[in-house]
Amino acid sequence: MIKIAFPTEKCEGLEDVVYTRFGRSPCFTIVTLDDENQIKEVKNIRNPGYEAASGAGVRSVQTLVDEGVNIIAAPALGPNAAVIAQEMGIKHISIPAGVKIREALETILNEIRKEA
């Protein structure tokens, strides 16, 4: 099972768009795929890093680790967040800000299919 997290602004699931900043995004949309890479669940959670005075990226990654995320799809990760994500075995896939989650998910699924 694969869980993909997208930083989002409005917690609107697949209709939301990728937010510009990972650690400071208001929400995360987490898409769970089954063993056949079909959508099993779409979940929106608030990002505790959004209002953090410091360490927003690290706090955000820890939240996603707790959710069992395997892939972070975001424009970029800050240096500390990138290190923690890598240490935790979470892959980062670069997705431009402003792209609809549904479209970004299709891009990722195509990449997963190519790797299989």
Domain containing residue 78: CATH number? 3.30.420.130
Do 102 and 42 touch, CB atoms closer than 8 A?
no
pLDDT tens for 89-102 read: 999 999 999 999 99
Domain count for the chain, please give it: 1
| This prediction's pTM | 0.94
**Domain of 82?**
2-115
pLDDT tens for 42-69 read: 999 999 988 877 878 899 999 999 999 9
Alpha-helical segments (H) within 1-100: 56-66, 79-87
pLDDT value for 115: 76
CA-derived radius of gyration, the chain: 13
Interior/surface letters 80-95, b for 16+ CB within 10 angstroms, e for the rest: ebbebbeeeebebeeb
